Structure 1
Amino acid sequence: MVSYDTAVPVVELPDYIEEISAKAFYGRGYIVELVLPEGIRVIGDNAFQDCYAMKKLVLPAELEEMGQQVFLQCRSLERVDLPEGVLELGPLMFGSCTSLREIRIPPTVRWIDENAFSGASELRRIHIGPEHLELLPEKFRRTAVLTAMSDLREEEELHGPASSRTSELLDGIVRRDSEVMASLAVEEKDKPALVYMLDRRLIPGNLLPELTEKAVASRATELTAVLLEAANILRQEEASGGAGSDGRGSGAEEWDPFA
C-alpha cells in the first residue's frame, strides 16, 4: 500500500496487502482505529506519522521490517503491542505520542534509541523482559521494572511461581534501588508490584512507616492496608524473635500511621 485516502475513522486493510510503504498514512487525521492484516511483513518510514486522532492500532503478529519514526506525533495513541520480528526502536519512533500509556516490547528487540520515546510523557506501563531492561533509555527503566514486577505477580497468581531465573534477575535489580522502587509503586498505586516486593522482603522494614504515610496521604486505601499488614507481620516476627536479626523491622513496633 502506497497511500490511503478514504476518509473513514475505522480502517481494516485487506489480507492481500504485504507492505505499508513510507508515509502511506502520513497525516491521516481522520483515522481513529487501524487494523493491519497478518500478511504484512514490512512497515516503511513515517508510515503513521501525524495520525493524531488514532487511538487504537492492531499490528500483525509477525513483522520482518519496521522503518524509522513510524508513530511520530500519533498524539492519541494509547497502547501499542509491538510484534515479534521488530529489531529496533529508532529515534523518535514514538516521539510526541503524548497519550501513550502502555507498550509491549518483544524479546526480538536488540536496540532502543535514547530518544525513541521523546515526549511520551504519560508512559506508565512498559512490558519488557528483565534481561532487556538495559536497552531502555534510563529515564524509563524504573517504570519498566515496576511493570515487570506487576506482570510477574499477576502471572504467579494465575499460573504459579515464575521461573527462578526471571525472578532472581528482577529481584537483584530491585534490591539495588529498593527505596526508590517502593516509593514509585506507592506513587503509581501499583498494588501488584508493591505486594511483589513485600512478599520477597525487598523493602527494608524501616521504610514501611514512610511508605504508609504516602499511601494514606494519597488515599490509596488498598496500599495502606497492604503496608499495615506487612508492618504487623514484622512486629509479630520480632516479638517471637524471628526477624530481628536482619534489620528489616527497625522502628516498626511503635509506629501508628493514624496517630
Structure 2
Amino acid sequence: MKLTRWAEIVALGPGVRMHNGKKTLFWNGEKVRDEHTGEFLIYNREERDSWEVIVVLVGVEVIPQDTFCGCENIEMVIMADTVKRIENIAFSFCKSLEFIRLSRNLEFIGVQAFLFCESLTSIFIPSSCTEIDEEAFGWCTKLIILSVPQHTQLDENVIARTALVEASHFETNHYGNYEDFNEVNQWIKNINGDTDEFALHRACSSYNPITEIIHGIIKRQGLKAFYNKNEIDVTPLQYLAANPYADISQSALMKRYVLDMMGEVV
C-alpha cells in the first residue's frame, strides 16, 4: 500500500488510468471543481465516482477546498511530499477512504477536510503540521488511531463522532461534540504517555519510525511488548501495520530478536 518509487510514478504523467488493478487519478494540481459553485470543471460525477486511488504528484503544494469532496469510492490517497496545505472539505464524504499517506511537509489541514470519511481507521500526522482545523476528522466513525505531534495545534472537535472519542472517558452531546476540546486535544497527544511501558507504541506510531529504536525496545521488553494494549486497546503491532511512513517488517524484527536471544544464550 506504500508507494515509494516516485520517479516511476511521475514518469507516468497526470491523468486517469488503471494502476495496480485500481482506477487511479494521477493528479498534478489541475483545478477539477469550482469551490464556489461546486461545478465539476474536468471530470463529471460518474467519472469521479469511478476513482479508487488518488496519487497527488510531485509539485502540488495545495489541495484546494472541495477538490475531492464526495468521491465515494476512493479507497487510498497518496501524497507527494510537496503538499503543504489541505483546505476545507477537500476530502469530505469520501466514504470508502481507508488509507492516507500525508505529505511529510504538510503544514495545515482545514475545516472538515476529511469529514464523514467513514471507513478511515487511522491517520498519522507529520511533524511539519502546525494546525489541524475544527472537525477535520469529524464523523470518521471508525477512526481509532490518530498520531499527532505535541506541537500541532488542534482546533475544536477534531475527532467528533469517531471511535477514538468513543473509546475515551469524555462525555459528548447529541451532536457528538465534547465540551472541553482543549482537554480532549491534550489527551489525544498523550494517549501513549511518556513512560517506558508505552515506548514501543510511541516508536511504532512515529511519523519517522526507526528500526534500531524499535528493535532496542523489543530487546529490552521482549516480544510480548508488541501485543501490549494502551488505553484505547491499540497495540504497537497495530500502529506499525497502519503507519504509512513505516517500511519495517514485523517478521524481520521478530527474527532479529530471536537471533539476538540465541546469541546471548550461546
Question: TM-score scaled to structure 1, two decimals?
Answer: 0.52
Deviation at residue 7 of structure 1 after TM alignment: 8.7
Residue by residue, what CA displacement relative to the aligned partner does 1:5-51 show, whole Å, maximum 9, x if unpaired? 9696521527xx3x242526685111112222223233222111111
3-state SS in 1 of match to 2:54: strand
CA 1:157–1:52 in structure 2 vs 1: closer, same or farther (change >3 Å)? same
More helix by share: 1
What's the counterpart of residue 59 of structure 1? 79
Runs of 4+ in 1 over 6 A off after TM superposition: none
Query: Could you list the runs of 5+ residues in structure 2 that have no partner in the other structure?
Result: 1-13, 34-41, 159-180, 218-228, 238-266
Q: Which amino acid aligns with 1:185?
A: N
1:99 and 1:80 mapped to 2: Cα distance?
A: 11
Match of 2:132 in 1: 112
1:74 matches 2:94: yes
Per-residue CA distance 1:143-170 (angstroms, 9 max, x = gap) = 5533675542546752547xxxxxxxxx
Match of residue 23 from structure 2:
10
Q: What is the match of residue 124 of structure 1?
A: 144
Q: Answer whether contact 1:25 1:48 (CA < 8 A) is retained.
A: no
Alignment partner, residue 123 of structure 2:
103
Confirm whether residue 83 of structure 1 aligns to residue 103 of structure 2.
yes
- The question of whether the paired residues in 2 share the 8 Å contact of 1:94 and 1:117 is answered with yes
Superposed CA deviations along residues 107-153 of structure 1, whole A, max 9, x for unmatched, are 22222222111211211111222333756744565455336755425
Distance 1:142 1:25 in 2: 41
Contact 1:26–1:47 at 8 Å: present in 2 too?
no
Aligned to 1:229: none
Q: Is the Cα contact below 8 Å between 2:90 and 2:114 reproduced in 1?
A: yes
Counterpart pick for 2:202 among 152, 168, 173: 152
**Structure 2 CA distance, aligned partners of 1:65 and 1:122?**
24
Structure 1 gaps of 5+ residues are 162-183, 194-259
Mapped to 1, the partners of 2:213 and 2:44 lie a distance apart of 43
Contact 2:61 2:84 in 1 (8 A): yes
Residue type at the aligned position of 1:112: I
Corresponding residue number in structure 2 for 1:190: 234
Counterpart amino acid of residue 75 in structure 1: K
Give aligned-pair identity as a percent: 19
Does the 8 A contact of 2:16 with 2:23 survive in 1?
no
